[in-house]
Amino acid sequence: MEETLPRIVVEAAAEGRRAVLRGCWTASELAVAASWAAVQTGMKTALQAGTTCAWDLRPVERMDHVGAQLLWNSWGRQWPHTLHASPAQRAMLERVAQFTVTPPRPQRLTAGDRYLRLGAWVMRMESHIADALRLIGQLLLDSVQLLRSPSTGPWRDFSGHLYRIGATALPITALVGFLIGVVLAYLMSRQLRQFGADAFIVNILGVSLVRELGPVLAAILIAGRSGSAITAQIGVMRVTEELDAMKVMGIPRGYRLVMPRAMALAVAMPLLAVWTTLAALLGGMVAADLAMGLTPAYFVTALSKAVKVSNLWLAMGKSIVFGVMIALIGCHYGLRIKPNTQSLGEGTTASVVTSITMVILVDAMFAVVFKDVGL
Amino acid sequence: MISDSAVAAPSAPPIVQISKLWSMFRTGGVEAIIHQDLDLSIAQGECISIVGGSGTGKTVLLRQMLGLETPMRGSVTVLGRPAQELTRAGSASRVGMLFQHGALYSAFTVLENIAFPLRELGGLPEDLVRDAVMVKLQMVGLDPLHANKMPADLSGGMIKRVALARALIMDPPLLLLDEPTAGLDPDSADAFCLLLRSLHTGLGLTVVMVTHDLDTIYEISTRVAVVAEKHVIVNAPPKEVVAFDHPFVRDFFLGGRGLRAMELLHPPPDAV
């Protein structure tokens, strides 16, 4: 091991001082902290010996371009007075000498640049909005076309997406819903018992789960699960030029990519919302039975009295809106992806964050608009 | 490769030694044997082209040498050690690989891409790394102005050159190339060939490449290995391979394209 360590020894020779290099002057050896420090101190002594000092590279076991670069930089980018080196070493040093340049600086931001950046940001936002509007408009036109000739619709794509987005999401939404139901019921049972209002747990759980939590939970889960998948799928199609191939074949991407996904989510989302709500109510029912001794039979009869059916219709209605929104946001970001992997990652993240934010925003709007319905 | 003693050694051990290699793929429950008792030995300083029809496992052979595939049977030894060890840390200083589409990290600039293996070592000062990168960038014939560009802004030929600079940043003794001239226009392909030849002789590299391009084969390779019938049927200098009697060799080298390209055939560059 000792042999490969790069090092410099300054020796006294007949013609004056002589710096002798030994060991492996390669990147991987030089990168070791100890040998780097040793080389630096040796280099300092050698350079202090002045221009009369001769350099002897012949005992060097191996040298690569990084080692040669280090020597060249240490010599102040000029040849030393006396140099003993093998032809290969000399050739390498000559290559390094020929090609050493200062790399161009990455450009600094001036005030003018910042101003232009702001302008570019505004333009980007504008193009975002224009693209989103175009996407919605195209979806409407495509829906009209589908209604005119339903037989030519992309039904195969639709059923595929319905399965992937809806059916395969059943286990995870049920699990999350059930656990949220259990947690809520336990927390509320402690509080309600203080007031002797045990029976009201059915009302509270029923209204909050059916009207708000079920649809929102399902929508957030699907936004994370399928919204990101939609963006990534379409983004990868951009990266691999599949989108261009579709265009060349004259296949409208709005009709074949966006609409089937929007339709599948519009169908799957309300069903998943009901499914999640049922799982959450089941969890609440179990927890209420265990914590407060409310029998499931009582829970079910009280539930039908406490929660009006209009709440369920409201929940399903807004779930359709959530579904279409998640699909459109996913497609929107997917279609904007540029053909490189970084853009793919950024687009997917932006898609998920935007769709979750929009779900909560739209849910709040629904709560305000429909405050007189079902309560 | 630089030390005089290694060059002077009379019978240096082969850089790559493949013996009795079996490769197998399982696709959809169907097992496909790609290589069967494949032997190949590559000596130091060679520039060897691996040719063969589609699906004969040329790229798989390259991936075996890189340790990206596991041999089903047999052994692949690269620089005296099993190829499987190559994927571990520090392999950039042993083998450089130029992937078919460059495989540049698209989130990094050109400079960062080439500097990546050096920076991964840690311990080297930033200005030394930058200088080393700029030298390599110009060695592959690129202008220093391209250093801060992103891979997405480069042309196909430039991507290959940057990828080559990245493969060579640690000065590995062995360079593997997968279809180095595929997807380049004829001018860029010729220029890239010249570059490869100058690096091969200038740096004393051992080069292994998979290619379909007859011009490239005649232009730079010192040996040609033909893969057919699941093993290497012939491994010899280009002139002898052309004379070898086998249906694939006849079609490949002596078809219309082959005869036109053969006009390029000249004495191979001195490698050793």
CA of A107 to nearest chain B CA: how many angstroms apart?
9
A64–B90 CB contact, under 8 Å: no
In chain A the first and final C-alpha atoms are separated, in Å, by: 81
Domain extent at residue A265: 121-369
Say if residue B177 is in the same domain as residue B257.
Answer: yes
A28–B124 CB contact, under 8 Å: no
Q: Which of B122, B123, B132 sits opposite A65 (nearest CB)?
A: B132
CB-CB neighbors (< 8 A) of B123 in chain A:
30-33, 36
DSSP for B32-68 reads EEEEEEEEEEE-TT-EEEEE--TTSSHHHHHHHHHTS
**Separation CA B253–CA B221 (nearest Å):** 14
B226 pLDDT more than 70: yes
**Is A107 within a domain?**
no
Say if residue B189 is in the same domain as residue B263.
Answer: yes
B253 pLDDT more than 90: no
Q: Residue A151 burial (CB < 10 Å; 0-12/13-18/19+)?
A: exposed
A27–B124 CB contact, under 8 Å: yes
Look at residue A62 and give its three-state secondary structure. Answer: strand
Last residue of a domain, one of B171, B196, B225: B171
**Is B224 within a domain?**
yes
Output the pLDDT for position B11.
Answer: 61
Confidence of residue B7 (pLDDT cuts 50, 70, 90): very low
Output the pLDDT for position B267.
Answer: 56
The long-range contacts involving B125-131, CB below 8 angstroms and separated by at least 24 positions, are B127/A73, B128/A66, B128/A69, B128/A70, B128/A73, B130/A103, B131/A69, B131/A73, B131/A100, B131/A103
Say if residue B64 is in the same domain as residue B179.
Answer: yes
Mean pLDDT of B180-203: 82
Say if residue A304 is in the same domain as residue A347.
Answer: yes
B171–chain A Cβ distance below 8 A for any pair: yes
B90, B120 Cβ separation under 8 angstroms: no
Which pair of tokens denotes residue B212? 């379909």
Last residue of a domain, one of A65, A99, A133: A99
Say if residue A193 is in the same domain as residue A329.
Answer: yes
Which amino acid does the sequence have at B5?
A: S
CB-CB neighbors (< 8 A) of A64 in chain B:
2, 93, 170-171
What order of strands is seen across the sheet that includes strand B231-236?
Answer: B95-98, B174-178, B206-210, B47-51, B223-228, B231-236
Say if residue B177 is in the same domain as residue B272.
Answer: yes
Say if residue B64 is in the same domain as residue B186.
Answer: yes
Say if residue B184 is in the same domain as residue B112.
Answer: no
Query: Residue A67 maps to which CATH number?
Result: 3.30.750
CA of B128 to nearest chain A CA: how many angstroms apart?
7
**B81-121 tens-digit pLDDT:** 888 777 777 677 788 888 888 888 888 888 889 888 888 88
Last residue of a domain, one of B137, B171, B205: B171
Say if residue A319 is in the same domain as residue A361.
Answer: yes
Say if residue A283 is in the same domain as residue A159.
Answer: yes
Q: Is this prediction's ipTM beyond 0.85?
A: no
Output the pLDDT for position B266.
Answer: 59
Output the pLDDT for position B264.
Answer: 63
Say if residue B138 is in the same domain as residue B182.
Answer: no
**Is A110 within a domain?**
no
Domain count, chain A: 2
Output the pLDDT for position B3.
Answer: 42
CB-CB neighbors (< 8 A) of B138 in chain A:
98-99, 101
Domain extent at residue B208: 1-6+44-68+173-272
Place of tokens 């670069």: A69
Last residue of a domain, one of B111, B142, B171: B171
Of A133 and B153, which is predicted with more confidence?
A133
Say if residue A93 is in the same domain as residue A159.
Answer: no
Which of the 8 DSSP states describes residue B185? -
- Asked whether the CA dihedral A315, A317, A321, A323 is positive or negative, the reply is positive
**Is B228 within a domain?**
yes
Q: Which of A28, A98, A104 sits opposite B147 (nearest CB)?
A: A104
Say if residue A47 is in the same domain as residue A168.
Answer: no
**A115-160 tens-digit pLDDT:** 999 999 999 999 999 999 999 999 999 999 999 989 888 899 999 9
Which pair of tokens denotes residue A331? 């497609």
Say if residue B165 is in the same domain as residue B256.
Answer: no
Output the pLDDT for position B265.
Answer: 64
Say if residue B186 is in the same domain as residue B151.
Answer: no
**Is A108 within a domain?**
no
Output the pLDDT for position A129.
Answer: 94
**Separation CA A197–CA A180 (nearest Å):** 21
Say if residue A201 is in the same domain as residue A330.
Answer: yes
Residues in chain A, pLDDT under 50: 1
| Closest B-chain CA to A28 | B121
Which of the 8 DSSP states describes residue A101? -
Report the mean per-residue pLDDT for chain A. 89
A375, A314 Cβ separation under 8 angstroms: no
B204–chain A Cβ distance below 8 A for any pair: yes
Of A275 and B223, which is predicted with more confidence?
A275
A104–B148 CB contact, under 8 Å: yes
B132 pLDDT more than 60: yes
Say if residue A188 is in the same domain as residue A323.
Answer: yes
Report the mean per-residue pLDDT for chain B. 81
CA of A47 to nearest chain B CA: how many angstroms apart?
18
Domain count, chain B: 2
Say if residue B271 is in the same domain as residue B187.
Answer: yes
**A20-55 tens-digit pLDDT:** 888 888 888 888 888 888 888 888 888 877 777 788
Listed residue (A214, A217, A219, A221) closest to A312, CA to CA: A214
Query: Residue B247 maps to which CATH number?
Result: 3.40.50.300
CB-CB neighbors (< 8 A) of B131 in chain A:
69, 73, 100, 103
Say if residue B208 is in the same domain as residue B154.
Answer: no
CB-CB neighbors (< 8 A) of A32 in chain B:
123
Listed residue (A12, A69, A16, A75) closest to A43, CA to CA: A75
B170–A31 CB contact, under 8 Å: no
Pairing of strands B174-178, B206-210: parallel
